């Protein structure tokens, strides 16, 4: 099994890369989905969420009001860090469990068919710097960067509030950080069809290499 962390900021094009990799055969794990699981009504961290962000953050059925939580958490860096300190240990546990399950599935497949292809797992990581404690699970880190004006325009077209976008960008790792910690970086500066083809070409090249020979992190930015 080969595990790829796919990192990029809001509206960078990370979802396009993930969707293209899925088309190529990847198994996707979305940390946003694991975050939703971490905030489920039966989660052990709900009392901590209530204590830090208020009783009204929970609906009568026990669900977390995610939009309200985001508004309060992203109101300041301190509040965002508080939420991360509560959530991240649970997200890390869920991620490790998901990867372990996929590894077991791969082992079962290969016990029946020794020639079964290697599973490639792509983990969508919106906040790469917060995942330092789980870098051990990644065989490769792939970054996605995009000029901030293009990201802003794309986010506003999708209905994001401008102020919310700016707050989120300010609390996410910079493109420089993503580049420095990635084995390969996609620069999303072309049309979506050209960009997606760039991802396919990279995937097929890595596949032909047998997912070996991972280049040194920070080796450079791939041009679209």
Q: Which helix (H) or strand (E) holds 6?
A: strand 2-8
Q: In this model, does residue 222 exceed pLDDT 60?
A: no
206-217: average pLDDT:
80
118-123: average pLDDT:
95
Strands lying side by side in the sheet with 184-187: 27-30, 120-125, 2-8, 140-145, 184-187, 221-222
Give the pLDDT of residue 215.
Answer: 67
| Beta pairing, strands 184-187 & 140-145 | parallel
43-65: average pLDDT:
93
Instruction: Please indicate whether residue 215 or residue 34 has the higher confidence score (pLDDT).
Output: 34
Instruction: Please indicate whether residue 74 or residue 11 has the higher confidence score (pLDDT).
Output: 11
Q: What is the mean pLDDT of the chain?
A: 90
- List Cβ neighbours of 112 (8 Å cut-off, separation of 6 or more): none
- List Cβ neighbours of 146 (8 Å cut-off, separation of 6 or more): 8, 11, 12, 13, 187, 188, 189
Q: In this model, does residue 224 exceed pLDDT 90?
A: no
Contact in structure between 170 and 161 (CB atoms under 8 Å)? no
Indicate the burial class of 220 (C-beta count within 10 angstroms; 0-12, 13-18, 19 or more).
Answer: exposed
Give the pLDDT of residue 220.
Answer: 47
CA 81 to chain centre: 18
Percent of the chain, pLDDT > 70? 95
Q: Which two tokens stand for residue 107?
A: 């082992």
Task: Using pLDDT thresholds of 50, 70 and 90, give the confidence band for residue 216.
Answer: low
Instruction: Please indicate whether residue 74 or residue 177 has the higher confidence score (pLDDT).
Output: 177
Q: Which two tokens stand for residue 216?
A: 């040194």
Q: What is the CA radius of gyration of the chain?
A: 18
All structural domains of the chain: 2-39+98-222 (3.40.50.300)
6-13: average pLDDT:
94
Give the pLDDT of residue 218.
Answer: 52
pLDDT digits (tens, 9 = 90+) for 61-79: 889 999 899 889 888 888 9
CA–CA separation, 79 and 53 (whole Å): 9
The terminus-to-terminus CA distance of the chain in angstroms comes to 28
45-63: average pLDDT:
93
For the entire predicted model, the pTM comes to: 0.89
Residue with the two structure tokens 């000029």: 147
Q: Which two tokens stand for residue 76?
A: 């300041």
pLDDT digits (tens, 9 = 90+) for 133-175: 888 999 999 999 999 999 999 999 989 889 889 988 988 899 9
């Amino acid at each position: 099994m080969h595990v790829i962390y796919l990192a990029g900021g809001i509206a960078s094009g990370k979802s396009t890369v993930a969707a293209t990799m899925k088309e190529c055969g990847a198994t996707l794990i979305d940390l946003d989905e694991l975050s939703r699981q971490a905030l489920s009504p039966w989660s052990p961290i709900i009392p901590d969420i209530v204590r830090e962000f208020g009783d009204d953050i929970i609906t009568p059925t026990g669900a977390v009001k995610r939009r309200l939580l985001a508004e309060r958490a992203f109101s300041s860096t301190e509040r965002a860090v508080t939420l991360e300190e509560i959530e991240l240990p649970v997200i890390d546990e869920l991620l490790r469990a998901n990867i372990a399950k996929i590894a077991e599935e791969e082992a079962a497949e290969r016990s029946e068919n020794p020639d079964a292809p290697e599973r490639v797992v792509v983990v969508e990581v919106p906040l790469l710097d917060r995942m330092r404690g789980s870098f051990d699970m990644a065989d490769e880190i792939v970054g996605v960067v995009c000029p901030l004006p293009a990201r802003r325009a794309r986010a506003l077209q999708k209905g994001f509030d401008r102020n919310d976008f700016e707050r989120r960008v300010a609390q996410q790792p910079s493109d420089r950080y993503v580049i420095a910690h990635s084995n390969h970086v996609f620069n999303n500066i072309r049309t979506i069809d050209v960009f997606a083809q760039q991802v396919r070409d990279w995937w097929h090249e890595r596949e032909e290499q047998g997912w070996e020979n991972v280049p040194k992190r920070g080796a450079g930015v791939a041009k679209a």
